[in-house]
Homo-oligomer: A and B are copies of this chain.
């Protein structure tokens, strides 16, 4: 390791120790203090808007100079409305019910032991993310609401923006008398910092959350060593139109699921249509999608019903387009739809449109995704829409938490067992 590497390692170790100390303070702190810090953070973000925008302008200029694609530049870009939305997001988290201390379960044993399961913080969370600078504020707010210390490592392309937002976050912590090490940010673009986080910083990090593209999430999952990872993989999202579907609902949901925003993980990527009534459903829905600017790629049965569709390849069924492109397959009933989803889906979010309640419930049972929607758009796959205030992302792993990860999903629990002197025979 060279001098710079040793110095970075020492800095990251110190962050780990600082985070652990902060976690110990937070674990014993009260909800009112956490709320006060969150409210002060939102105020500081508003007060610092000019600084945040100036820092962001530097990031954007550098990104443009480096030849970054304009869609990517747009993800970096902040304006007054986006800064205000960030402050509002933090206020929403300040307003949700504090998850800590809740009694999740409680029962008595025949020997008189009283067992309570109590919600507690996880401890120290490491978040590795890309692009959108609002993640800095969202992640800080959610971790704090759940009583966790957090170490943030954002993308190098918005380091200046992230540091400016973090400065406001730190003011909020300080206003509430909380240690600034409750929310720390890696202040260098050196990718070696990520490597150090993947080792858990000598046991300081309890959970790593990658948020970003497939490459980032895959790297964190594969390279994390001895530290748990909560993965947010792609959303290969399906909408299935059952033979019993109402055409108006089917059309509205398919168009909204695909096109409301094409770049979110809850955007539909494949439309499945029941062969039992595809002739009624597919042509008008396809027309509505095309009218709204969507390109369609179909299997043979879909193309027989909708002229001019491109041929969907095997690759199409596995592709998260994040673009106004939709693959379309005709399948045989609920079981055919579920089989397609099991083969190609990412267990993120899938929807059925059906008036037949039994068919809808069978779909909900067969499809093993974090979120299954009946007669609603897949774009509701979002922590805010679930009432969580905000989210770190949608978890697609099967352990700990599935679906939107809000403050409650960033907690764990412990048992408190109260006795009167019991010993075990």
A27 located at the interface, meaning its Cβ lies under 8 Å from any Cβ of chain B in the complex:
yes
| Bitwise interface map of A from 161 to 199 toward B, beta carbon under 8 Å scored 1, else 0 | 000000000000000000000000000000000000000
A342 neighbours in B (Cβ, 8 Å) = 24
Please determine whether B417 and A373 come into contact, CB atoms closer than 8 angstroms: yes
What residues of B have a CB within 8 angstroms of the CB of A33 in the complex? none
Query: Please, how many angstroms separate the alpha-carbon atoms of A107 and B402 in the complex?
Result: 17
A246 touches B421 (CB 8 A): yes
This chain: how many copies in the complex? 2
Of the candidates A115, A207, A421, the one having the most CB atoms from chain B within 10 angstroms of its own CB is A421
What are the interface flags for A100-126 relative to B under an 8 Å C-beta threshold, 1 for contact and 0 otherwise? 000000010100010100001011000
Q: Please report which residues of chain A, range 357-378, place their CB below 8 angstroms from some CB of chain B when the two chains form the complex.
A: 360, 364-366, 368-377
CA distance A370 to B230 in the complex (A): 20
Assembled-state Cα–Cα distance A375/B421 (Å): 5
Chain A residues within 8 Å of chain B by Cβ, number = 67
**Residue A226 interfacial (CB < 8 Å):** yes
Q: Give the docked Cα–Cα distance between A400 and B230 (Å).
A: 10
For A24, the chain B residues whose CB sits under 8 A away are 342
B252 touches A423 (CB 8 A): yes
Interface residues of A (CB under 8 A from B): 24, 27-28, 107, 109, 113, 115, 120, 122-123, 206-207, 221-222, 225-226, 228-230, 246, 248-249, 252-253, 255-257, 260, 342, 360, 364-366, 368-377, 379-380, 385-387, 397-400, 402-403, 412-424
